[in-house]
A and B are shown apart, each in its own frame.
Chain A
Amino acid sequence: MSLAPTASAIAAAVRSGEVRASEVLEGCLEAIDQVEGQLGCFVTLTPELARAQAEAVDAQVAAGAPLGPLAGVPVAVKDNLCTAGVPTTCSSRILASWRPPYDATAVARLVAAGAVVVGKTNLDEFAMGSSTETSAFGPTRNPYDPSRVPGGSSGGSAAVVAAGAVPLALGTDTGGSIRQPAALCGVVGLKPTYGAVSRYGLIAFASSLDQVGPLAQTVEDAAALLDAIAGHDPMDSTSLPEGVLPCHRALDRGVAGLRIGLVRELVEAEGIEPGVRRRVEDAAEALAAAGATVEPVSVPELALGLPAYYLIAPAEASSNLARYDGVRYGLRVDGADVEEMQARTRAAGFGPEVKRRILLGTYALSAGYYDAYYAQAQRVRTLIVRAFERAYEQADLLLGATTPTTAFPLGAKVEDPLAMYLSDVFTIPTNLAGHPALSVPFGTDDAGLPVGVQLLAPALAEPSLVAAGAVLERSAPALPPPPVAASWRLGVPR
């Protein structure tokens, strides 16, 4: 089900000459214009850059030159991925005016594949949050109910795809930041294996957890985007040398013979809404009906993920965000000496959630506390990796909810960080293990809000995720279009 033309439909139409990339782009820009005022998905729109890219694709078509797999497909890019010459803010005051001199590898590969970058999407400041409310530039709203959050931190990317204004978007996922907003907005979100996609040009939040991945209307589009951006990058030392197998070919593989573990801790957990739980059970039945063996499994260690994550991620963040000191780029607030200038810059430039995590992380790494906090959290991380290894001896894939709840109202959890953190309780363990996971929309709760179900897989098993995700997508209850939706069709009449 999709509102806007899918990426695969656009690429096929551009390739065949049925429509020009420039025409697709104008339709897309108009669609964005229809919803942006209500949703606030973008920090920066880049129509001029996009027009130049679309014209380049059209020139290739006219010349009969080979086209990339995403030729002419408009894509939105989360604003923590560097784009040469285009402001890249992380939705933070401290980087509000910064223009990187280079493209992130994921962005460069998208453009090389023929995609057209229409703008930079809103996020929780430095990707720290689960609602896109910590953005310094105001929140993004959920197309299914603009009084509710889109999730986060890739809220702008999820909302703009859900509203049918852009077919594809890049997000990043440190503890669930692709999958959680995908679930809350009713779109597909895939967090790849750690190292499958280069982090070069991704502004770091927590380096050992961050991954770039797709948000899309369909599993097929998500697979196409992943295929375009994955692969070894010599600029990222943690990039996997072998790379992930192409996912596109796995789309029609089905689930017959696959062993799928329904994870008790991701279904029966305290705080999970009944409407969410019911949909996960429906999804399990659908997979069984399609030929998979679905068995309940228990992975008790997953409960340890959240506390471990909230030590490791802030610890890395406290170091990663040190460089925003007013000396070289970004915001500077003057002071009597360097120390005062740095302190004032950081006090003015960072919002409360970022400061909270810097403090947490600094504390966790401090002399005398390192072993009790950071080192202990790393040991827990190892336990979680082992627990997943055991689970994958019994199952090829794991199934559970993506989030305990559907989209919550704006402001509901702003004053209660712990409640906000619990929103990622089901997604965090995958990041700690470095594994891939996929969130697929599977109907709605009783209030009509989208529910996402999550498929988890061992490292580099993205093709299996895509195969099972496609099965779920085909068997999912129809998702009604959101109240805030763009209307556009492929191209404009000639």
Chain B
Amino acid sequence: MTPAGWEAVIGLEVHCELRTRTKLFCGCRNEFGAPPNTHVCPVCLGLPGSLPVLNRQAVELAMRIGLALGCRIEPSVFHRKNYFYPDMPKDYQISQYDEPICVEGALTLPDGSRVGIVRAHLEEDTGKTSHIGESGRIHGAGYALVDYNRAGVPLVEIVSAPDIRSAQQARAYVAELRGVLVATGASDGRMEEGSLRVDANVSVRRAGSDVLGTRCEVKNLNSLRSLVRALEHEVARQVGLLEAGQPVVQETRHFDEDRGVTVALRSKEEAFDYRYFPEPDLVALAPEPAWREAVAASQPPLPAARRQALAELFGAARLEGPRAEQAETVLELGLDALVRAAAEAGVDPALALARTANEAAAQAEAARQVDPGAYVALLRMEQEGRLSATQAKTVLAELLQHGGDPADIAERLGLVGLDRGALASVVAEVVAAHPEEWSRFCAGEEKLAGFFTGQVMRRTRGQADGKLVAAELATRRAAEAGAP
């Protein structure tokens, strides 16, 4: 929470690893988790004499991201960013500097707030260093090993305007951006694997002021939770300094996950001079208009539009409360199409959303593969009372695991729902067998409803729908009370 009387001003830099088949400048596979140094070649190892050749698919995904964020796609130039680092094979990073591929867009968050996008540019990733030694930390490590599989993996860095005003809004921004990146096919969105990495520029000012304060850059925000914790800590730290009459020093800070605090990494004076200059080994990048248009024409539906479509199923402009949360779950998991398909086939949208956000979401990977026709058919069976809720969940689990026709599955498992008529006759039998209890129930002893339901369940071996039994009991009692 931002302390009262203060306002946070936050801009985020999100690094997104692109889901290309190969790396940005060579033919090595872009794949997470392979044994160390198995996806390497002279180019991505930066061997003497090797030269980069730009990956067309990476350019296309960068354009997709830019278009999804409402950016202009511009002719662009690659630069070299020079600094020494052992996991960077050439000791410079090929990146884009003053002429990035995507400029000036915006992202609208679910709450309606808008965050400007300054730019999005292409660059190569570095390798990964493991410090080996007793402490497991950089200081005191015996030696280090470098895995260059990640070196040269394409990244798009998306730079927001300083439009974000709280840690929670920052979280919402990254979550929504992640949804956009996954929807466009640019990213797998896996923050835990480092597919998305976030740096934050943070400053604070008195509420109502329009002057920008001195900012700090906070690095190592590798989960939504870390992002929120780090930002809340950093904002509180800066406010604390200013309230104590001390200045905020411009510096780069590192978020220590264990301690939940940010610690100074290097000051402005120690900042690297990257000595950017145009990369002479590459030519300027100017995607021809036809290519750009083809990409624009084949953009998939984005989260905002899909969120809108879910709301429309309920006849609402936007969803609120638990339903909004369910909607976010299915959007994030890419299961919203199942909800829409079911609703369009006549299933109650509330039922479709609930089943999808709960049971299907619990097995999201399988749910993304399920035959939508079978899924819709199952929900219809539940809706029409041919399966109880419990039965429907059992069939769904089977459907997600092995596929098949839900009616066949239900029959195979012996889960044939009782229709209203059959249920009524079972209820009648139970009532006839227990006249004394029935009289007391009719006299208002409500707790006996449980007794009758239990008896019905016993006779139907649990296949009756509890809600329908309750309804039948109520109907029967009302009918008797109303009789002369």
The chain A residues found within 8 Å of chain B, CB to CB, are 81-82, 88, 90, 95, 98, 100-102, 104, 199-204, 206-208, 234-238, 315-316, 318-319, 322-323, 325, 327-329, 338-339, 342, 362, 365-367, 370, 374
Q: A338–B83 Cα gap in the complex (Å)?
A: 14
CB <8 Å contact, B86 and A327: yes
CB <8 Å contact, A323 and B48: yes
CB <8 Å contact, A325 and B47: no
Known: A237-B52, A237-B282. 17 other contacts (CB 8 A): A201-B49, A201-B50, A204-B281, A234-B53, A235-B53, A238-B282, A238-B283, A316-B277, A316-B280, A319-B82, A319-B275, A319-B277, A323-B91, A325-B86, A325-B91, A328-B89, A367-B273
Q: If the complex has contacts A322-B82, A322-B90, A325-B91, are A374 and B51 also in contact, measured as CB distance less than 8 A?
A: no
B residues in contact with A318, CB < 8 Å: 82, 275
CB proximity to A under 8 Å, residues B246-288: 273, 275-277, 280-283
Return the contact of A88 from the options B48, B54, B80 (Cβ within 8 A): B48
Return the contact of A100 from the options B47, B54, B275, B277 (Cβ within 8 A): B47
A residues in contact with B84, CB < 8 Å: 322, 325, 339, 342
CB <8 Å contact, A237 and B46: no
CB <8 Å contact, B49 and A100: yes
Q: If the complex has contacts A238-B283, A325-B91, are A315 and B48 also in contact, measured as CB distance less than 8 A?
A: no
Return the contact of A237 from the options B45, B47, B51, B273 (Cβ within 8 A): B51
CB <8 Å contact, B49 and A327: no
Min distance, Cβ B395 to any Cβ of chain A, angstroms: 55
CB <8 Å contact, A362 and B91: no
Closest to B282 in A: A237
B144 at the interface (CB under 8 A from A): yes
Q: A280–B349 Cα gap in the complex (Å)?
A: 90
CB proximity to A under 8 Å, residues B56-86: 80, 82, 84, 86
CB <8 Å contact, B42 and A237: no
Return the contact of A329 from the options B47, B275, B277 (Cβ within 8 A): B47
CB <8 Å contact, B281 and A82: no
Closest to A339 in B: B84
Q: If the complex has contacts A104-B49, A208-B280, A237-B282, are A319 and B144 also in contact, measured as CB distance less than 8 A?
A: no
B441 at the interface (CB under 8 A from A): no
A residues in contact with B273, CB < 8 Å: 366-367
Closest to B48 in A: A203
CB <8 Å contact, A323 and B283: no
B146 at the interface (CB under 8 A from A): yes
A residues in contact with B80, CB < 8 Å: 319
Return the contact of A207 from the options B144, B146, B280 (Cβ within 8 A): B280
CB <8 Å contact, B92 and A322: yes
Min distance, Cβ B83 to any Cβ of chain A, angstroms: 9
CB <8 Å contact, B51 and A322: no
Q: A201–B47 Cα gap in the complex (Å)?
A: 9
A residues in contact with B54, CB < 8 Å: 237
Min distance, Cβ A347 to any Cβ of chain B, angstroms: 14
**Mask of B23-51 contacts with A, CB within 8 angstroms, 1/0:** 00000000000000000001001111111
B residues in contact with A325, CB < 8 Å: 84, 86, 91
Q: A339–B42 Cα gap in the complex (Å)?
A: 24
Closest to B53 in A: A237
Pull 25 A–B residue pairs with CB atoms less than 8 Å apart, ordered by A. Answer: A100-B42, A100-B49, A102-B42, A200-B49, A200-B50, A201-B49, A204-B48, A206-B280, A237-B51, A237-B54, A237-B281, A237-B283, A315-B277, A319-B92, A322-B82, A322-B84, A322-B90, A325-B84, A325-B86, A327-B86, A327-B146, A338-B86, A362-B275, A365-B275, A374-B277
- Sort A-B residue pairs by CB-CB distance and give the 5 closest, nearest first: A322-B91, A365-B275, A207-B280, A208-B280, A201-B49
Return the contact of A203 from the options B49, B92, B276, B281 (Cβ within 8 A): B49
The chain B residues found within 8 Å of chain A, CB to CB, are 42, 45-54, 80, 82, 84, 86, 89-92, 144, 146, 273, 275-277, 280-283
A residues in contact with B48, CB < 8 Å: 82, 88, 90, 95, 98, 100, 203-204, 323
Q: A70–B442 Cα gap in the complex (Å)?
A: 109
B residues in contact with A236, CB < 8 Å: 51, 53
Q: A207–B280 Cα gap in the complex (Å)?
A: 6
Q: A325–B146 Cα gap in the complex (Å)?
A: 14
Min distance, Cβ B123 to any Cβ of chain A, angstroms: 16
Min distance, Cβ A477 to any Cβ of chain B, angstroms: 40
A residues in contact with B144, CB < 8 Å: 338
Interface of B is mostly: loop
Q: If the complex has contacts A237-B53, A238-B283, A342-B84, are A328 and B277 also in contact, measured as CB distance less than 8 A?
A: no
Q: If the complex has contacts A102-B42, A322-B82, are A235 and B91 also in contact, measured as CB distance less than 8 A?
A: no
CB <8 Å contact, A199 and B51: yes
A residues in contact with B283, CB < 8 Å: 237-238
Closest to A209 in B: B280
Q: If the complex has contacts A319-B275, A322-B82, A366-B273, are A328 and B49 also in contact, measured as CB distance less than 8 A?
A: no
Q: A117–B54 Cα gap in the complex (Å)?
A: 32
Min distance, Cβ B480 to any Cβ of chain A, angstroms: 88
Q: A37–B92 Cα gap in the complex (Å)?
A: 41
Q: A316–B279 Cα gap in the complex (Å)?
A: 9
B residues in contact with A204, CB < 8 Å: 48-49, 281
Closest to B275 in A: A365
Most B Cβ at <10 Å: residue of A201, A319, A370: A319
A residues in contact with B45, CB < 8 Å: 328
Min distance, Cβ B84 to any Cβ of chain A, angstroms: 6
Q: A374–B54 Cα gap in the complex (Å)?
A: 25
CB <8 Å contact, B47 and A101: yes
A residues in contact with B277, CB < 8 Å: 315-316, 319, 365, 370, 374
Q: A327–B143 Cα gap in the complex (Å)?
A: 12
Closest to A316 in B: B280
CB <8 Å contact, A238 and B91: no
A residues in contact with B89, CB < 8 Å: 323, 328
A residues in contact with B51, CB < 8 Å: 199-200, 235-237
Q: A431–B84 Cα gap in the complex (Å)?
A: 29
B residues in contact with A88, CB < 8 Å: 48-49
Closest to B25 in A: A237
Closest to A329 in B: B47
Closest to A88 in B: B48
B residues in contact with A342, CB < 8 Å: 84
Closest to B52 in A: A237
Most A Cβ at <10 Å: residue of B51, B54, B86: B51
Q: A82–B90 Cα gap in the complex (Å)?
A: 17
Q: A318–B92 Cα gap in the complex (Å)?
A: 11
B residues in contact with A201, CB < 8 Å: 49-50
Closest to B141 in A: A337
CB <8 Å contact, A323 and B46: yes
Q: A318–B144 Cα gap in the complex (Å)?
A: 26
Q: A88–B281 Cα gap in the complex (Å)?
A: 21
Min distance, Cβ B248 to any Cβ of chain A, angstroms: 23
Min distance, Cβ B73 to any Cβ of chain A, angstroms: 20
CB <8 Å contact, A207 and B281: yes
Q: If the complex has contacts A202-B49, A365-B275, are A101 and B82 also in contact, measured as CB distance less than 8 A?
A: no
Min distance, Cβ B223 to any Cβ of chain A, angstroms: 28
Q: A104–B51 Cα gap in the complex (Å)?
A: 11
Q: A100–B50 Cα gap in the complex (Å)?
A: 10
B residues in contact with A339, CB < 8 Å: 84
B residues in contact with A362, CB < 8 Å: 275
Closest to B83 in A: A322
Closest to A195 in B: B283
Q: A90–B375 Cα gap in the complex (Å)?
A: 66
Min distance, Cβ A204 to any Cβ of chain B, angstroms: 7
Min distance, Cβ B364 to any Cβ of chain A, angstroms: 41
Q: A319–B274 Cα gap in the complex (Å)?
A: 10
B residues in contact with A95, CB < 8 Å: 48
Q: A98–B47 Cα gap in the complex (Å)?
A: 10
Most B Cβ at <10 Å: residue of A235, A327, A366, A374: A327
Min distance, Cβ A82 to any Cβ of chain B, angstroms: 5
B residues in contact with A81, CB < 8 Å: 49
Q: A235–B25 Cα gap in the complex (Å)?
A: 10
Q: A420–B40 Cα gap in the complex (Å)?
A: 41
Q: A98–B46 Cα gap in the complex (Å)?
A: 14
